[in-house]
Amino acid sequence: MRHNQGMSPAKPPPRCVVVHFDKPRRTLAIGILVLALTACGAPPQSTPDPEPPQAAEPMHTQATPLRAAYETLAALPPDPELAELRASASLARLQGEVRPDDLALAGPLAELSRHERPGIRAAAVALLGQLTLAAEGRATLPPEISVALAEAMSDEEESVRLEATRSAAPLRDDAIRAALLARLADPAPQVRFQALHALHAGGDLAGDGAQRAHALPLREDPDRLVRELARTALGDD
């Protein structure tokens, strides 16, 4: 029988090639093989992730209502309406809760009383007034308070002059007294009223001195409240 011509003869199986090493070479080859297998089989060494930084413990400081009001005022945005709103809210929270260590805010508040925005100036002056009330009858006030209030009483804005005149009422130094006398001629009747009230409460209009003479024209003031207070404080004669 003839074989199929299209079939190819079967190939012999591949022969294994055996490499013969002498003993030193065999030992070296086995060592290299062991090292290679160890390196390939060892798991990759991963670098541990760094621990997240621990947040610093917050500093616990005892906040006072006046300090909270100052910090609110110092961080006000430029919107004057929002400034006045937030400042008024801060002042409403005080209600006489000023503490002795709040006097350290006299300098920063004096700086804010010269701020470019009238709402911030007025609020800072009002906070200075809270300091004068808190320290009344106690140790001498920081000099920055008197200086700032005397300057604010001649501010171009009526709201600032009004707050300064109110805040200065408990003070009795010469600079404050002179500033209050000058406010008796203020164009705003509320400012005139507050200045007259402060001088009368402090006893500065008693007798026949120059201060009383300075206030006499207010008995004929066009504003009814100012006129009535002047006649009560000075008499009708």
Of 102 and 36, which is predicted with more confidence?
A: 102
Distance from C-alpha of 165 to C-alpha of 122, rounded to nearest angstrom? 11
Distance from C-alpha of 179 to C-alpha of 166, rounded to nearest angstrom? 12
What is the model's pLDDT at position 64? 76
Distance from C-alpha of 180 to C-alpha of 234, rounded to nearest angstrom? 16
How does 88-97 read in b/e, with b if 16+ C-beta sit within 10 Å?
eebbeebeee
8 Å CB contact between 146 and 171: yes
What is the model's pLDDT at position 82? 53
What is the model's pLDDT at position 210? 85
**Phi, psi angle pair for 103, to nearest 5°:** -65, -20
Q: Which of 3-17, 97-111, 139-153, 215-229 has the highest mean pLDDT?
A: 215-229
Q: Where are the domains of the chain?
A: 66-175, 184-237
8 Å CB contact between 195 and 221: no
What confidence category does residue 87 fall into, taking pLDDT thresholds of 50, 70 and 90? low
* pLDDT tens track for 120-160: 899 899 889 888 876 665 557 889 999 999 999 999 999 99
8 Å CB contact between 164 and 188: no
CA distances from 73 to 88, 114, 158, 170 (A): 10, 13, 20, 24
Q: Please state, rounded to an integer, the average pLDDT across all residues of the chain.
A: 74
**Phi, psi angle pair for 69, to nearest 5°:** -65, -40
What is the model's pLDDT at position 57? 42
* The pLDDT of residue 73 is above 90: no
* pLDDT tens track for 32-42: 444 443 444 44
What is the model's pLDDT at position 42? 44
pTM > 0.75: yes or no = no
Q: Which of 49-63, 88-102, 118-132 has the highest mean pLDDT?
A: 118-132
Distance from C-alpha of 106 to C-alpha of 125, rounded to nearest angstrom? 10
The region of weakest confidence among 40-44, 112-116, 219-223 is 40-44
Of 183 and 80, which is predicted with more confidence?
A: 183
